[in-house]
Amino acid sequence: MDQVTPAQAKASGRSWWQAKYSDGRILNEWDTLTGPDLSPHGEQGTSRWEEVAKDKMIGLRLLCPDGMAYELNAPEGNKFFQLKVAVSMAAAPESPKGTPTENPNRFILAHIIGVVNDSEGNCLCRSWDYQKGRALTFRDNIYRFTYHNLVALSIGVQQLKV
């Protein structure tokens, strides 16, 4: 990975995913944004993870606002996932600690990447936790996800094959 990409993530103040494929291709989250400026420096739209090709994906990186990149690797086979944990409020006297999105009442609390390790749904994950201001590595299970009390991940939306 070049040194510009982590620097861009740091300058943007938020985390980004980056997929690596067996044919050498790299797909950045900002390549999938829908919105006026499709870069980590512009006004940010919505990422389209559900439309990203998962076949031949062999790595997933989390580019973090501290300038570091954390990577998960696995053989080809639709085992990677990513998601953002966010809260949305009608009105709040005090905003939660997190990064604000384009909606002033919506905050991203964490950005998670993961790889499923077995047919039971056990997975290895990396997360940028905005509340703690640092990256975390943890093990969980897609059927009973405990991090941020998510319970279960949508296998259909994530396009996971376990």
Q: Is the pLDDT of residue 153 over 90?
A: no
Is the pLDDT assigned to residue 58 strictly greater than 50? yes
Closest C-alpha among 16, 83, 24 to residue 57: 24
pTM of the model: 0.79
Q: For residue 152, what are its two tokens?
A: 């279960």
Q: What's residue 73's pLDDT?
A: 94
**Mean pLDDT of the 50-60 span:** 90
- For residue 138, the enclosing domain spans 4-158
CA distance 134 to 143: 25
Query: What tens digit of pLDDT does each residue of 79-125 get?
Result: 999 999 988 776 655 555 555 555 556 688 999 999 999 889 999 99
Token code pair at residue 111: 């950005």
Sheet holding 69-73, edge to edge: 26-28, 16-21, 57-63, 69-73
Average pLDDT over the chain, rounded to an integer: 80
How many domains, the chain?
Answer: 1
For 62, counting Cβ atoms within 10 Å of its Cβ (0-12 exposed, 13-18 middle, 19+ buried), the class is buried
Would the pLDDT of 38 be above 70? no
Token pair for residue 29?
């989250």
Identify the H or E element spanning 111: strand 106-116
Answer whether 139's CB lies under 8 Å from 124's CB.
yes
Average pLDDT over residues 2-21: 81
